[in-house]
Every structure is written in structure tokens, then in C-alpha cells.
Structure 1
């Protein structure tokens, strides 16, 4: 049974696994300034930070030496309800958006956190909303819609957040187990505030359950549920399916919980709603799986030691995510699966880490390279409780670092290395380079002096050498960057970055547009209100 699903990452704490470092210092204005590194760092070499900040520049030396100050701005507005069902046809613009940038940035996330007298306990318990920025030459508009999901309607009827407490089953121990694990008895969880995907010409909003909604283009309303024409019925759906441009198909993963649970990897052709099973991988204690890796020939399953006993899900009465437990003594298991036969090729035991997002994976000779945003443990889960954020003791968010695994298929040995000592989460790349060798990743990051925020800067990392570019404006809090390539681009990073930013000085939000090559600001469009922090989204030229 699924009661709470979906997570948002960002953070700040050093890795404690036995990874190596590629890069250790920041070169700014020809002066090398040491950054604090995890104690396990070796193979140190210089990396460059290019000069990219808006207005006030916070020098690297000041970042490392300044004392942490208490929150004194409107950052927490990002975790509070925004205005719903609004449409602003003409936003105020500073700068000039590129003429070629026409289309819509569509994002999902929690939009409302209260019902009757009840408030959401976790950040992603908030009711799902769709956000759309439409760009057309010199004009930018913004609209949002609070989605009319079953989760929302049931919560309104009950006056509390539906699904936060498990439904009590009556009867014997065995009947309660059977009821809890039965697909037929599962409550509907369709709070689709986690991700979006475009399939069969329709934009679909997703939760981490089997229930998704089609979003209407004109109104942004959820018009109909996505219905698959197959017999698969997983309780859990990985929120980050991959689209394979070469084969024209989605690759996704679901989990079926049972006495022996299983990961179900499947393909979905671009013009079909029938999923085809690629592989079923049994697991006694399944991990919390938010994303996985994909290459042209292989699926890469990462099982972190943040796992659940299925009978705890059934019987102990806790919300879904609270049933998972962290075990630092257990390894991270990385299993490589053949995409054609569905057979396991190899399983690699690596130091214990936790991650929500993989960045990219590809093949090189007889090796698989997979990059993730890795935490030292799963404490980010606890940090996302709203009570922690609004309490007298501010949450200190753990930090994820860009970490590379090299898996040798010939000798079945694996290695790990942390590429850059700058925090990175919510990664995005040029999707033309998905599943192939690439150079750049973009994400949200965080300065050392603000451990109480998810993110206060946007970062660009060169994965080949650890070089990093940073956009930072004091008291501004960006959300996941979206890379949009320029027409007829000649290089991987030729394009722009779009991100929704909360201005902590005014409590309002704006859309920022950066040059993806040097991370300098091109333009921004102001929204007359605040937008709660979003989860994921994408840029669509025809939506």
C-alpha cells in the first residue's frame, strides 16, 4: 500500500564512502582557494570556477570562512501554499529572452499544503499543481492549476490528507497481510506532483504509483487517467523513466511488493500503452528507487541500503516512506541487466551511499559509466519533513555530490570517484547526449554558509575534469534547471538554462534564463506572487 511517495533532493554534507576525488580546489580570478573536502578525498587536482554570478559576488574564500547565519528571509515560502488556478498573460521582463526560445516550460510540484484544519506532514504530501511558463519572442506568460485528483478530493472530503495514515484492516494476521499486499485492496494514490512525461502526443503528470493523469493543453486540468492495456500492476513506479530516441521507446521500472518483491523493468513503445516486460528481478528487501540507469544495451539497477521489509508496509501502520530503514553496514548493489534477454550480467558491491537521481549512463569499450548525485546516507528523507523546516531548529540539509561508477564487464569489478566537491542535485543534461558519452551536467547547488536551504545556486559541472560554473544571487533559491538547446547547436552546451527561482528578499518568484555555456544571466520574468518549490518538468515546443 502506498501512502506517501516522491521526494525532493538537495543538500549539504560530505560523502563518507571510500570514493576518490577528481578535482579539489576552485580557481577564481587566477587564485587557488582550497575548499573543504570529505576526509576520503584523494587524487587532488585543480578545477576552475568561471566568473558567473548575478549582481553581488560571494568570493569563494568568503563562502568557506563565513559563519553560518540563521534564516532571515522568506525562503520558507517555497514550502507554503501558492495562489492556485492563476493566469498572468504578460509578465514583467528584465533583459531579453532569445527569439528562438518559443514553447512552454511545464513543471509539477506541491501547490497547496493545507486542507480544513490539517497541514501536510511531508513536503510532497502537498496537493499536486501544474505550472506553465509560455515563451514567445519578447513575451512570457505564467499559469498554474491545482489538479483535481482522487487524492485531493478524498482529502477535502475527510478534512485531512488522504493516505497519510494507512487504512486499518480487520481480521486475522494473514488476512491483513493479504489485504495490504493485494493490488485490488490498494487505496488510490494519484497525487501526481513528481514528474511529467510526453507520450503519444499527451503530457502526463506522474506520481510514484501506478496512477498518472493526462494534462489538457488549454486549461492545464487533469482530464483523464492514463490507462495501460497490459496486466502489469506494480504498486510503485520509478518517477524517472528513460526515453530511448534510437528505438523510440520508454524504459521504466515498477516494484511489486510481496513475500518476495520484484523490480519489473519494461519497455513502452512511443505510440502504445502496452508495456512489455524486459526483466523481473527478485528482492527480499527492495530499495527506495527514484531513478535508474540506462545505456543502449543495458539497464543499471542501483540498490542502496535504504530498504523496506514488505511486512512492515503491511502491518506497522506507518506512512509508506517511514517504513524504509538505512543500514550503513550494507553495500550499495549495482546490477547490470541485458536489455534484450533480461538476464543479469553482473552485480557489483560498492560502498554504502544513497541517491535519488542518476545523471547519465553510457558504455565505453567493455565498461559501463554511470554518474549519480550521491549522499552519504538517507538523512535527506527526514530533512524533508515540513515540521523540521518550520521548527525552531532549522533543518540542515545533507549534500549530494556528483559521483561516477565505472563498472568493468570483463572482470566484474567496479570503482567509484567523486567528480567535484561542489554540491549538485536535481541534475539535467542535454538530452541529445542521454545514454552516450557526455561532458556537462546542470543542477541546483548550495553554498557552505546556507545549510538551512535546499539550494541557493545553479551549477554546471564538466564531468571530464570537474570544472564548475556557478550562478548565484544572494537570497535567491532556484529549482531544477532545464537545458534547452539552441537551434542548429554545434556544441553540447550551446543553449539556455531555465529555472524557477524564489526571491527571498521579496517573497516573489521569477523565471531566470541563463546562457548554458558561461552560466551568465540573459533575462528573467517576474511572477506577481510566489511559486512553491517544484519537483521536475520539461520544455515542450508544442504545449
Structure 2
């Protein structure tokens, strides 16, 4: 269940507050003292108090429109729309949150505003507050991927997603098996949708309840398919006629994207294996000793990569020639046919990163450097099933700085710029660190972003579970 956390730093003191999200999902599960709403990896089992025949029939009970009701358990990320804070997951439901009390003010349904069946928990913001996101639509004609645009301001205090529009719709190549995506990339003028070969079998997902299977049973990896980068112009909503592709890869989080010298440079955390989601099945997390080592040793590794996409491709562009003219990049972009450009990546790290199991949960100085050329990014190293180090990467020479302590597991690093900062890494890194082998010893860690040295920690005398994504709200 979604558990919201808040650290407040004021006057040299740190206070902590947490609250379970009062979702319909939470209320129903709490009322029955068991899981009654299906989630991504968990199927709601029939009521054990029913007799055998009743339990059998309950598997075939379906909500309206013959599809499972999506969960409103918004446990992935805090996001902002029109200056308001929401918590979200990947269904069509979000909750608007009071950032002071962490109380849910209202449940908001994307499908009441635009024709989508959900949206990602990783929107992007333009400097003026305009927000972009992605969501799927499922109709009798098949699945489509939709680029969503939400205006920056509200017309009234009660305004939520009013004015949201679908900027562009992209049909799935396989109408009944669209690609799964967790996020997308955005430069100054383009949204980049990464269509990867992690596929969703819609028939399996819709029939999951009667088969006693969770949504994850309908998600699979198809390594024989290529990965496509779809470029959508943010001003016109037009999809580029050039098909940029690369070999099969999986990506959950992008680092940054920017345009320079006629190229779109796109950095992401990626793997050549799309099985990462299986690492977190309960049967794996319950392992210990050699069995846990085997799970870890067979995990797919995620590393930072750079792709360079040429923007000015026309009928005069030569075929078979590397179009990446950036002297500082080893990535390639080769036009292989009239409308296709095949791309290979440049590694954004050296061999040292392999010692830390790769890098995920990337963060940058978003406010000043998102969609612009940048030098630094931060993330978690994964030598275990969860992050066990904090890492600062320097793109200038691909060097890195590391914070680590045995037995401590930090969360996603949040960059907070210093007031009136002039340098990209002038600020601090915030991370929640858990200590599973010691009771009630969680703390908020503060690192100097430049040196990556510890500045302070604020101990929290409660147990906090390992989480996903957060944000910093500067109210000073």
C-alpha cells in the first residue's frame, strides 16, 4: 500500500511525517484485512469465507465494461500538475495531496479528461509549467500510445486536469500487444517515446482474474524485436517520418535529452535484457544465502548510455554513413534505408561502474539543466536487489564519486540546488537510508553535491520501507 513520507527541514531541525494514502484500494484491503484489489504482481484471491463453489465463480466476476477495475494505489511517485502535488502510479487514477498534512484531497481520473487508460508516474515539465506525459488507449481498433499535454495554470482552485489534451497518438505495431513503458524522454522541442520490446499481452491481462494471475503475467520480453525512438514535435504534435531504431533494450528511466548542432542527444539507463521486473518477485526477495546470490548473479545490469539522433534527415542524406558528427561521442547513427536510421549507443561510464552493479534512479539538476547540455547526474548503484550506494557521474571524463557504508541502503538521490547557485553541482543530495539489519535506525542523508562528502544525517526512530521516487518542495 502507498505510504507517503515527508521530511521538513526548518531552523536547523528536521521533522518526519508519514501517512498511508487513503485510497479506495487501501480502504477495501483494510476493511477485509487482506488483499481484495489486484495489483501489478498480486491477484486478489477469492474470499476464504465463501464455499468452494462461490470461490470458483468469484474468479469470473468482472467489473463494468468486462475489464478489471484498475487500482488507485498510487505508490510510485510524487508529481506536480498546475502547481499542485499528486501521487501517482501507472493506472488512470491519481490523488491530489496536501503537501503539509499528506492527506489525499481528491481522487482524479485521467479518463474523465482525455481518452487514455492510464499515464506514467514520470511526467516532464517545461519552464513555464506546461507538463507532458504519456498514456495508452485501448479500443476495438487496437492500442495506441498518446502524448499528453497539461496546461501550466488553473482556472479555479478546484481545477485538476482540465484543459489536458492529446498532442499526438501513435498506433502500436502489434494492436493487441503494445509495449510497456515506465517513462519517456523530452528535449526542448521534442518528446521521445521509446517503444521497447517489453510487451503487454492485453488478452492475458484482461483474463488474469479468472486465471488467478496478476497483471505481470501478461508482460513479457521479446528480444527478437528492435527498439524504436519516436520523435514528436511539441509545437506541432507531428510525429517524425524518420524511424530511429536500435537493437532490443529495456529502459525504465531516462537521464536527460537535449538538442545541439542538429542532433538530439538522449541519455538513459538501459539494459540488453528485459527481465528486470522478474527480479522483484516475492519468491526471489524471500531468498537468502546462496539462493539469493544466484538471483543477484543472474540479474540484468543497467548502465547509463547515450544515443545521438540526427534531426535533419532528408532524401539527400547519405545511406550507410555515420551521421553523428559530434567529435566527443562514439555513438553512431547510420541511415539504412529511406526512412530508417539505425543507432548504436555510447557508454557514459568506465569500467569502475561495473564494481557497483550498474546505475539506476538517475537524477540531475532538473530545474536548470533538463533539456539542456549538462555535465553531472546522480543515481544508485545496485550490487544487491536494491540500491546500496550513491553515485555521482561526471560526463566530462566519465569519472565517478561514490558514497557507501556496509549494511546501508540509500534511496533515489534528490538534488537540491543552493540558493542563487551558478554552478551545475552547487547544492546538496538528499537520500533516505534504511538499515534492515538494525531496528528503527533509518536516517535522512545529506551529501555535498560537489565533493559527495557527507554533511549531515537526521535519524528517524521508526522503520521506513525501501521506496521508489520522491521530489523536493522548496517552500522557503
Alignment partners' CA distance in 1, 2:399 and 2:266 = 18
| 1:427 positional shift | 0.8
Map 1:394-433; keep pairs closer than 5 Å.
394=292, 395-396=295-296, 397-411=299-313, 413=341, 414-420=343-349, 421=351, 422=353, 423-431=358-366, 432-433=368-369
| 1:391 positional shift | 2.4
Q: 1:340 aligns with which of 235, 249, 253?
A: 235
| 1:410 positional shift | 2.7
Q: 1:439 aligns with which of 375, 384, 388?
A: 375
| 1:472 positional shift | 1.1
| 1:367 positional shift | 1.0
Q: 1:280 aligns with which of 161, 164, 169?
A: 169
Partner of residue 208, structure 1: 90
In 1, are the aligned partners of 2:110 and 2:118 still within 8 Å (CA)?
no
Are 2:8 and 1:134 aligned?
yes
In 2, are the aligned partners of 1:230 and 1:275 still within 8 Å (CA)?
no
Superposed CA deviations along residues 347-378 of structure 1, whole A, max 9, x for unmatched, are 21201111110111111122111111112212
Map 1:49-448; keep pairs closer than 5 Å.
127-161=1-35, 162-163=37-38, 164-165=42-43, 182=65, 186-226=68-108, 231-245=113-127, 247-258=128-139, 259-272=141-154, 273=161, 274-283=163-172, 284=174, 285-316=177-208, 317=211, 318-345=213-240, 346-392=242-288, 393-394=291-292, 395-396=295-296, 397-411=299-313, 413=341, 414-420=343-349, 421=351, 422=353, 423-431=358-366, 432-446=368-382
Flag as ranges the 4+ runs of structure 1 deviating above 6 A. none
Superposed CA deviations along residues 111-133 of structure 1, whole A, max 9, x for unmatched, are xxxxxxxxxxxxxxxx0011001
Partner of 1:165: helix, strand, or coil? coil
Alignment partners' CA distance in 2, 1:255 and 1:453 = 30
| 1:229 positional shift | 9.3
In 2, are the aligned partners of 1:237 and 1:255 still within 8 Å (CA)?
yes
In 1, are the aligned partners of 2:135 and 2:147 still within 8 Å (CA)?
yes
In 2, are the aligned partners of 1:461 and 1:469 still within 8 Å (CA)?
yes
Partner of 1:253: helix, strand, or coil? strand
Change (3 A) 1:228 1:310: closer
Change (3 A) 1:524 1:209: same
| 1:167 positional shift | 9.7
TM-score calculated relative to the size of structure 1: 0.70
| 1:329 positional shift | 1.4
Partner of 1:391: helix, strand, or coil? coil
| 1:186 positional shift | 4.7
State the superposition RMSD in angstroms: 2.3
Superposed CA deviations along residues 425-456 of structure 1, whole A, max 9, x for unmatched, are 0011001100111111101113xxx4x43221
Partner of 1:145: helix, strand, or coil? strand
Map 1:9-20; keep pairs closer than 5 Å.
none
Alignment partners' CA distance in 2, 1:292 and 1:204 = 19
Superposed CA deviations along residues 143-167 of structure 1, whole A, max 9, x for unmatched, are 1001111111122334432113379
Partner of 1:506: helix, strand, or coil? coil
Alignment partners' CA distance in 2, 1:504 and 1:128 = 20
Tell me how many residue pairs correspond in the alignment. Answer: 403
| 1:214 positional shift | 1.4
Change (3 A) 1:265 1:498: same
Alignment partners' CA distance in 2, 1:295 and 1:322 = 34
Partner of 1:484: helix, strand, or coil? strand
| 1:142 positional shift | 0.6
Alignment partners' CA distance in 2, 1:250 and 1:186 = 29
Change (3 A) 1:197 1:231: closer
In 2, are the aligned partners of 1:248 and 1:269 still within 8 Å (CA)?
yes
| 1:242 positional shift | 0.2
| 1:248 positional shift | 2.6
Alignment partners' CA distance in 1, 2:123 and 2:93 = 14
Alignment partners' CA distance in 2, 1:321 and 1:343 = 33
Partner of residue 328, structure 2: none
Partner of 2:217: helix, strand, or coil? helix
Superposed CA deviations along residues 235-273 of structure 1, whole A, max 9, x for unmatched, are 22111000011x430001101134510111111112142
Alignment partners' CA distance in 2, 1:339 and 1:181 = 36
| 1:282 positional shift | 0.5
Superposed CA deviations along residues 174-231 of structure 1, whole A, max 9, x for unmatched, are xx99x7894x855141111111112334211111111111112342121211356964
In 2, are the aligned partners of 1:298 and 1:338 still within 8 Å (CA)?
yes
Change (3 A) 1:266 1:341: same
Partner of 1:387: helix, strand, or coil? helix
Partner of 1:132: helix, strand, or coil? strand
Superposed CA deviations along residues 321-354 of structure 1, whole A, max 9, x for unmatched, are 2211111111111111122222221221201111
